[in-house]
Amino acid sequence: MKSAGKAAIWVAFSKWLGLLSGLISLVVVARLLTPEDFGVYGFLLVVLVIPEVFSSDSLNEVLIQRTDLKAEHSNSVFLSSLVFATLFFGLIQLGAPYIATLFDVPSLSDYLRAMSVVLFMGALSAVPAALLQRHMRFREITIVDVIGYVVGAIVGVSSAVIFQNAWALVAMEMSRRFVRMLAFLYFANWWPSFRTNIHEFRSLLRFKLASIGLRLVAAGDISIPRLFVGLYLGPAALGMFNLAIRIQNQAMQALVSPFGAVAFPVASKTQNDLPTLYKTMSTAIWLAGFIAYPAFIGAAAAAPVIVPVVLGTQWNDAIIAIQISMLMGIRLPSSAFNGGVLRGVGKPGLLLKVSVFALLVLVLMLPFASRI
């Protein structure tokens, strides 16, 4: 519990600095760009969400959960991530014009081809990031996050002033990920290697498959609403929706992530000591809810006043979407902890079933939403 408390403090420090730099850059960029620019960036997120599941987001979790870890396990995860990154990078390079035609956004092709480079950054970051989490080295993770936030904010604001289009958002994200990749490799003191064997790969396969399935469902939960909004309502509406989700994510990073980030590694380390696990997680959930609930509700109430003053009147139509996203944030403390605990104790399959059910409910509700 002492280690978890220190980890939560470091993560909180990182997330609050990230929130500050993120809000500053978001305000400046939102004033310089249009909802259509944010909509173009939203289409990029929709296209890349599944490739990123395979290239970085899910394969490294097995390195945190496994009790006995060898170098061959880490190399296996890296090779898997690299293969998927290469495959999807090639598919995007070839299919970018067709994707742009599908979304009726001709300029999307160039953005996609440039942004797909982040797949390789994710593949190189996956293993060192997981190793730092496994060993509860959240001080180093905090440094990585802070450097990424600051560099991304500087590059994003500068690019927004120069280009005044969606390239600013692309440059912001790519610079943030590139810096994080270099920092993770440095602090973890891990460098890519191709030394592995089929036995070590197969020993991780079961958890990998469950983790990938879980991440795919989560990706669908994120991308299906964006796809629906973008296709039926256009880039401007998608830009407003994307802004609302981004504000929710910023709030979650500051209010929930400092506690939720330690759930997975703590549950992995205490999976055979259930009393300690229960005590640690129940305390963390209570603290996160005590802080997050008033903040999300207050933000929803204040949105009509804050949005036009801070972001500009061009974003007035996004106020309702922002209010809804803030009220939806009330569920984040419990969902973040539950997911981390279930993965940590080696039961991603149970979490997958719950997530699939939630996704099915979302898909069934979309036709009713289109009539509103």
Domain ranges, ordered by start, for the chain? 2-369
Q: Which residues, at least 6 apart from 191, have a Cβ–Cβ distance to it below 8 Å?
A: 185
Amino acid at 55: S
Please, what is the Cα angle at 199 between 195 and 203, to 5 degrees?
110
Of 152-161, 204-213, 244-253, 354-363, the range with the lowest mean pLDDT is: 204-213
Give yes or no for residue 100 having a pLDDT over 70: yes
Q: Is the dihedral of CA 308, 314, 318, 322 positive or negative?
A: negative
SS3 150: helix
SS3 53: helix
Residues 83 and 369: their CA atoms lie apart, in Å, by 39
Per-residue CA distances from 10 to 5, 133, 171, 228 (Å):
9, 12, 27, 38
Residues 77 and 146: their CA atoms lie apart, in Å, by 26
Nearest residue to 55 (alpha-carbon basis) of 23, 77, 28, 26: 77
Q: Chain-wide mean pLDDT for the chain?
A: 80
* Better-scored residue on pLDDT, 300 or 338: 300
The reported pLDDT for the residue numbered 5 is: 56
Residue 266, H or E segment: helix 263-269
